[in-house]
Each structure stands twice: as C-alpha cells, then as structure tokens.
C-alpha cells in the first residue's frame, strides 16, 4: 500500500499541516487508488481535474500560512448530495442527466473548510435499500472478502466501500433508517448519524424528510469528529435545521467515561442475531465496564414496532417527495401523447423496482380511507418509540446495541423486500426518535467479516457519543484492513 | 380498525399506480400486489398497540418551524431554473399539449 494511503483523516491533516506531505501528493495517491479499485464500483463519477485543482489551492493556502480544518484532505461524496455542475443522480436512472446549479449546504461546508472532492459515490436508488443493489448502475462490492462478492450494505454502500478500500480518506453519507450505520458496520469502518437537525438537508436529494440526516463515514472515531465538525451547521435554508451550536467535537476525544451509565436494552437481543455478533456485543459491554462505566439494563418496549412504523412513514414521505420527478423541470422525460401518459411512462421507466414499491406503499397508506389506519397510526406509535428513549435516557447516558443482526451478506442473496428490511432492525428506532448513533467496528466474525457495534446518545449529545465511542474504539483496537483495499 | 384495511388486488394496484402516476407493466402487477400485501401484513402488528390517548408525532425534535419575511426571493436565475429542463421555450417549461 502506498504510504500515503496509510494516513487516516486526522493523520493526513497533521502531515499536511506539518508540510510532510502535500495535498496534491495525497490527492494523486487517492486518484490512483480509485483507479486500482474501480472493480468495486464505489464511484459513479470521478472528478480528477477538480480534485487536483482544489488540492493545488490547498497547497497554495498552506504555503501562505493558512490552514482550514479539512485543508487538502481528499474525500468522496454520496450521490445524494447536490454538487454544483457535477452530475448528481441519487443512483437513479430518472436523474441520469441532472447537473445541479447549486451546492448542498453540507458539501459547501466541507469545501469551505478546505476538503478536496474526489467524486460521487454510489448508493441505493434514492437511498432506498440496505445492500446497494437498487442502484441503477448496479451494486457496489464490499472490499472485505475477495473470495465471495459480499454486499457493502446500504444505502451509503459506495461511501462505506470507498473508505474501507482506501479509495477515499473519508466520505459523506445520508441515513434515514440506518443508511450510514449499517454499511459502516458491513465494511468495518465508523459511521455516524447525527441528531435530526444537526446537518442541513438543503441540497440533499429528499427521501423521507422527517428522518433524513447527513453524516460522515470514516476510518476512526476521531475522523468522524473532524468531519462532523465541518458538516454540521445551522442553516436558514432548511426549516428543520437546529439553531444550536455544536461544541468542538475534537475536544471530546480522550475524555474518560468513568461513572457514565451505559444502557443495554433487553429488546435488542433476539433470535436471528449471529453468534459472533452476540459475542462481540458482550465484549463491548465488558470493555465499557472496564473503562469505568456502569452497565444498566433498560427497556425500550416498543422496539418491535419500529420497523413497521418506519415502513409506513418513510414510504409515505417518499411518495410525496418523489412526486417532483415529473419529466418537466429536470431529469429524464419519456415522450407521450398526453401530459398524464408522459408522467406515468417517465416515472414508470425512470424509477427502479424498490423505489416504485415504496411510492406505491406510500401512496396507499396516505390514500383516502387508509390514512388513519396506517399513516396516523404509525405517527402515534412513533411517539411511543420516542418516549421509550426519553424514559431510557432518564436512567442512562448512552445505549449500546449491535449495529446489525448479521455481518455482510452475499450479493444477490436477499431478493425478498421484507428480509432486506430486517437489516435495519437495530438502526431504525434511533432514526425514528431523531437520536444520534454511531457504528464502529469491534471485531471480525468467523468468515473474516467486520462486526459493528452501535452507540446511541440523547438528542444533541454528539460530544458524549464521540467520547464514549472513542473509548470503545481503543479497547476494541480493530486494526484489520479489507482484502480488497487499494495496495 | 382492521376492517378499514383490505387486500391489495389488481384493481387496487391500478388505482394506486394511477394516483402515483406510475406506469406499471401488466405482467408485473401481480407480483407487485403480492409485495404490497406482504409489506402491509408486516406492518399490521401496529394494531396491537393502544394509541387511543397518543398524539401523532410529526416533528421529532419538538422544533418550532421558523417564519421568514414574506418577500420575493426568486433570485433572478431563470436560466439556471430552466437549465435541467428536458424542454423549455421562451423562459417556460414545455409539456405535452393539455388542451385540444
């Protein structure tokens, strides 16, 4: 492996600041790594010239004695973020020719802080999926096992695969029901979903607006802190943006968790969870105990209703959000004799099967006669799920759970939509409650695939989440590299 | 409440597809109906939960939506707004003829 690829985000930042390496050097190393790992299919679009131009600008800045928090660091962007004049498709055929004329707030924040853009990363179509297989341009391959083609998870599968394959120093993701945490777990990296409202949704392709939240996918907890520091901001252009200053997350690294209470929800131990994950869940509990925290059993009684609530609310919001793809203002259009036919054929051919399924479910549960029975009911149970967490956080500071019930599965093996939905069983509850969660790798299973553990914090306590995850990361000492990583 | 729920059949698929403005090929309607029934069956356990005194939750952080001044903010960017349109003419989006 090129020595330049060995740096993590924080390490690279220090090396660039100390002028041991230049941004152009490390950016070139990543461009080469992207080319060498192109068979994974993580990138939809590589913007080599732009990357080198940004890297040069960073090097010039440094030579003038200026240094921004992400100065010169090459990162990848999930294709859900609108990037000005750079093709943005949300992995959908219907947006195949869409070039945004504006930049999303989150990516603009990253560029303002000096980050260098490598390209756009594949994801499930409109972020709807848990395996990256619903992407119009085909699935992404998990870099961990060379002998079998495993799923990188989803929907931020390209982001997770790229970070694990050392073809991006870090990446952005979006998480609606687990789309950052689940692929991070499958690919042996760290993924953080902030509190709803922390990162502006402006310029992010909308899927389910009451749940969508952007966050970082990185190699380490420190890297996640560094990225999120820049990504998060109050934004007037997003009416759900939280006007609440976030503390400098970097200053919470290395804090002790002595006396902190870690909740273990009894509802998260269930049939169908793999033995290796149970084992590492127990180990993680032990590690946190050894670090001085107190382990407290908690109950979140409405957990089993989280997936049903999610699969009503998310499709309902999606059916409304995706109404904008009408073949008139942007995106693909199929010609037809009448306006209605044009809408139907454009959308019928432009959307993939999973997206159509969700639009149909969403339309059904919002339709006259069913609204109260499904949508309103789901919104009520959502409140009960949120109250479960509120009660839990009266007793504990953080909640520890597995990130996923199994490690990565083989591509093409889960055809049934419901089996696929079960992947998100441990990540969806925190999404419904709007709470921040982080998945970090703690070990490998018997086939050599990474295992992720999730920590959930109270709303707006990303700082505490970072401190605790950092302690767990140290104990787990996960230092394996994916088989298929760039050499 | 369960009496308000029904099984999704082909006519229901047609109705929902029409409301969704989705062209669904004939030969995939039955499998779509099956998928929708499976998903609706999966969410049916919500019926067990007593929600008689529960308010629906729409905003998760209890955040109050801010108001902005009622002023025009169109930005004078007509060309940018039309830039991604499949068809435009004289500053307008063009759609198939709707009136004969």
A201: domain CATH number is 3.90.1300.10
Residue A268 CA to residue A307 CA, distance in Å, equals 13
Query: Can A87 be counted among the known catalytic residues?
Result: no
Q: What is the mean pLDDT of residues A243-265?
A: 97
The least confident of A76-90, A257-271, A425-439 is: A257-271
CA distance A342 to chain B (A): 8
**Token pair listed for B7:** 């099984």
Quick one: pLDDT band at residue A1, thresholds 50, 70, 90? low
Task: Write out the residue range of the structural domain in which residue A138 sits.
Answer: 3-257
Is B58 a domain residue?
no
Alpha-carbon distances, residue A468 vs A34, A213, A293, A331, B11 (angstroms)? 33, 21, 10, 44, 53
- Tell me, what's the pLDDT at A420? 86
Which chain B residues are within 8 Å of A373, Cβ to Cβ?
Answer: 1-2, 4-5
Gap from A346 CA to chain B (nearest CA, Å): 8
Looking at the predicted structure, is the pLDDT value of residue A397 above 90?
A: yes
- Mean pLDDT over A260-287 rounds to 93
Chain B residues touching A340 at Cβ < 8 A: 21
pLDDT tens for residues A335-369? 998 999 999 999 999 999 999 999 999 999 999 99
Tens digit of pLDDT for each residue in A71-84?
999 999 999 999 99
| A379, closest residue in chain B (CA to CA) | B56
Q: Is the pLDDT of residue A487 over 90?
A: no
Query: How many Cβ atoms are within 10 Å of A50's Cβ, its own excluded?
Result: 16
Query: What span, in angstroms and rounded, lies between the C-alpha atoms of A292 and A259?
Result: 6
Question: How confident is the prediction for chain A on average, in pLDDT?
Answer: 96
**pLDDT mean across residues, chain B:** 90
Domain presence at residue A319 = no
Segments in A396-461 forming alpha helices (H):
417-421, 428-432
User: b/e map of B82-95 (b: 16 or more CB within 10 Å)?
Assistant: bebbbebeeeeeeb
Q: Which of residues 192-221 of A touch B (CB under 8 A)?
A: 195-197, 210
pLDDT of residue A309: 98
Sole residue written with tokens 């180990």: A283
> Do B46 and A305 count as a contact with CB atoms less than 8 A apart?
yes
- pLDDT tens across A216-232, in order? 999 999 999 999 999 99
- The answer to whether B96 faces chain A, any CB pair under 8 Å, is yes
User: Which residues of chain A make contact with B39, given a CB cutoff of 8 A?
Assistant: 311, 357, 361, 417-418
* Nearest chain B Cα distance for residue A66, angstroms: 33
Q: pLDDT band at residue B58, thresholds of 50, 70 and 90?
A: confident
Q: What is the CATH number of the domain that holds B28?
A: 1.10.20
Q: Which residues pair with A239 in a beta bridge?
A: none
Chain B interface, best mutation among A84, A235, A308, A432, by max B CB count within 10 A: A308
Torsion of Cα atoms, A341 then A342 then A346 then A347, to 10°: -50
Distance, in Å, from the CA atom of A210 to the CA atom of A204, rounded to the nearest integer, reads 13
Residue B45 forms contact with A (CB below 8 Å): yes
Across the interface, whether the CB atoms of A417 and B40 are under 8 A apart is answered: no
Residue B39, in any domain of the structure: yes
Is the pLDDT at A370 greater than 90? The verdict is yes
Closest CA to A46 of A180, A168, A197, A134: A168
User: Which of A:250-289 have CB within 8 Å of B?
Assistant: none
- The average pLDDT across A456-470 equals 98
Helix (H) or strand (E) run with residue A388 in it: helix A377-395
What pLDDT score was predicted for residue B5? 61
Give the residue numbers spanning the domain of B44: 1-48
Residue range A115-136, pLDDT digits in tens:
999 999 999 999 999 999 999 9
pLDDT of residue A86: 98
pLDDT of residue B98: 82
| Out of A198-202, A460-464, B73-77, least confident range | B73-77
B93 inside 8 A of chain A by CB: yes
| Phi and psi, residue A214, nearest 5° | -85, 155
**Catalytic residue, candidates A179, A241, A293, A319:** A179
In this prediction, residue B1 carries a pLDDT of 41
| Between B61 and A311, residue with greater pLDDT | A311
Q: Inter-chain contact A347–B95, Cβ cutoff 8 Å?
A: no
Query: Could you tell me what percent of chain A has a pLDDT over 90?
Result: 94
Q: Which pLDDT score, from 0 to 100, does residue A155 have?
A: 97
Locate the chain B residue with the closest alpha carbon to A369. Answer: B4
> Is the sign of the CA dihedral A342, A345, A350, A355 positive or negative?
positive
Residue A389 forms contact with B (CB below 8 Å):
no
Residue A136, both tokens: 């119009």
For residue A462, name the pLDDT band (cuts at 50, 70, 90). Answer: very high
Secondary structure percentages of chain B, helix, strand, coil, to 5: 40, 5, 55
Per the CB < 8 Å rule, is A101 touching B83? yes
What tens digit of pLDDT does each residue of A398-423 get? 999 999 999 999 999 877 888 888 88
Where do we find the tokens 């047609």?
B14
List, for residues B63-91, the tens digit of each pLDDT value.
788 888 899 887 889 999 999 999 999 99
A410-419 LR contacts (CB < 8 Å, sep 24+): A410/A148, A410/A149, A410/A150, A410/A151, A411/A131, A411/A133, A411/A139, A411/A141, A411/A149, A411/A150, A411/A151, A412/A133, A412/A149, A414/A131, A416/B38, A417/A354, A417/A357, A417/B35, A417/B38, A417/B39, A418/B38, A418/B39, A418/B42
CA–CA distance from A25 to each of A16, A56, B99 (Å)? 10, 10, 61
Between CA A389 and CA A178 the distance in angstroms is: 17
* A434·B46 Cβ contact <8 A: no
Helical (H) or strand (E) element with A390: helix A377-395
Residue A444 has pLDDT above 90, yes or no: yes
Residue B3 has pLDDT above 70, yes or no: no
How many separate domains does chain B show?
Answer: 1
CA atoms within 13 A on the CB side of A272: 11
| pLDDT score of A464 | 98
Asked if residue B23 belongs to a domain, the reply is yes
ipTM, 2 decimals?
A: 0.94
Total beta-carbon pairs less than 8 A apart between chain A and chain B: 185
**Any catalytic annotation for residue A356?**
no
- Nearest-Cα residue of chain A relative to residue B59: A210
In a domain? residue A306: no
Could you give the percent of chain A with pLDDT greater than 70? 100
Q: Give the tens place of pLDDT for each residue, A135-177.
A: 999 999 999 988 899 999 999 999 999 999 999 999 999 999 9
Contacts of B23 in chain A (CB under 8 A): 341, 344-345, 347-349
Reply yes or no on whether A386 is catalytic. no
User: pLDDT at residue A260 above 70?
Assistant: yes
Q: How many angstroms separate the most distant Cα atoms in chain B? A: 57
Number of domains into which chain A is organized:
1
Longest dimension (CA), chain A: 70
Q: What are phi and psi of A165, to 5 degrees?
A: -85, 5
Look at residue B16 and give its three-state secondary structure.
helix
DSSP state of A174: E
Average pLDDT estimate for A368-391 = 97
Contacts with A99 from chain B: Cβ below 8 Å: 83-84
Whether pLDDT at A261 is above 90: yes
Q: Which of A13, A78, A130, A241 is catalytic?
A: A78
Residues of A in contact with B59 (CB under 8 A): 210, 240
Per-residue pLDDT at A240: 94
């Amino acid at each position: 492996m090129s020595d330049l690829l060995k740096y993590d985000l924080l390490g690279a930042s220090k090396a660039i600041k100390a002028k041991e390496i230049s941004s152009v050097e490390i950016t070139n190393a990543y461009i080469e790594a992207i080319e060498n790992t192109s068979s994974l299919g993580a990138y939809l679009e590589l913007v080599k010239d732009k990357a080198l131009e940004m890297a040069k600008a960073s090097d010039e800045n440094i030579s003038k004695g200026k240094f921004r928090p992400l100065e010169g660091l090459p990162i990848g962007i999930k294709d859900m973020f609108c990037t000005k004049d750079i093709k943005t498709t949300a992995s959908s055929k219907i947006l195949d020719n869409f070039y945004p004329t504006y930049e999303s707030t989150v990516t603009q924040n990253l560029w303002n802080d000096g980050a260098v853009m490598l390209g756009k990363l594949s994801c499930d179509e409109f972020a709807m999926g848990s395996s990256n297989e619903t992407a119009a341009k085909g699935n992404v391959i998990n870099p961990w096992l060379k002998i079998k083609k495993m799923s990188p998870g989803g929907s931020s599968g390209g982001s997770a695969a790229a970070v694990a394959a050392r073809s991006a120093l870090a990446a952005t993701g979006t998480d609606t029901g687990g789309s950052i945490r689940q692929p991070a777990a499958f690919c042996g990296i760290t993924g953080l979903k902030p509190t709803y409202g922390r990162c502006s949704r402006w310029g992010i392709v909308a899927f389910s607006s009451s749940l969508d939240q952007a966050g970082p996918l990185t190699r380490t907890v420190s890297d996640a802190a560094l990225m999120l520091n820049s990504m998060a901001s109050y934004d007037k252009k997003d009416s759900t943006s939280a006007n609440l200053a976030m503390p400098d997350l970097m200053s919470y690294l290395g804090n002790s968790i002595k006396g902190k209470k870690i909740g273990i929800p009894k509802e998260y131990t269930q049939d169908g969870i793999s033995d290796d994950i149970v084992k590492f869940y127990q180990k993680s509990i032990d590690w946190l105990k050894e670090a001085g925290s107190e382990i407290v059993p908690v109950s979140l009684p409405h957990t089993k209703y989280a997936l049903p609530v999610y699969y009503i609310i998310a499709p309902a919001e999606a059916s409304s959000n995706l109404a904008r793809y009408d073949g008139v203002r942007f995106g693909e259009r199929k010609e037809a004799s009448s306006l209605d036919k044009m809408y139907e054929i454009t959308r019928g051919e432009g959307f993939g099967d999973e997206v159509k399924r969700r639009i149909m479910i969403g339309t059904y549960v919002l339709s006259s006669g069913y609204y109260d029975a499904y949508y309103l009911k789901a919104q009520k149970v959502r409140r009960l799920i949120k109250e479960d967490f509120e009660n839990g956080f009266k007793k504990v500071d953080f909640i520890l759970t597995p990130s996923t019930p199994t490690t990565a599965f083989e591509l093409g093996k889960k055809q049934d939509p419901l089996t696929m939905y079960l992947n998100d069983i441990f990540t969806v509850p925190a999404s419904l409650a709007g709470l921040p969660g982080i998945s970090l790798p703690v070990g490998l299973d018997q086939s050599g695939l990474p295992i992720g553990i999730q920590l959930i914090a109270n709303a707006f306590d990303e700082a505490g989440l970072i401190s605790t995850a950092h302690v767990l990361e140290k104990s787990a000492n996960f230092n394996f590299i994916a088989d298929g990583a760039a050499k | 409440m369960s009496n308000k729920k029904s099984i999704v059949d082909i006519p229901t698929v047609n109705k929902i597809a029409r409301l969704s403005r989705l062209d669904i090929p004939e030969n995939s309607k039955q499998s779509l109906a099956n998928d929708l029934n499976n998903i609706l069956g999966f969410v049916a356990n919500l019926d067990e939960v007593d929600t008689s005194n529960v308010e629906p939750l729409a905003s998760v952080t209890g955040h109050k939506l801010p108001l902005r001044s009622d002023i025009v903010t169109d930005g004078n960017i007509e060309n940018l707004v039309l830039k991604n349109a499949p068809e435009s003419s004289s500053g307008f989006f063009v759609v198939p003829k709707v009136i004969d």
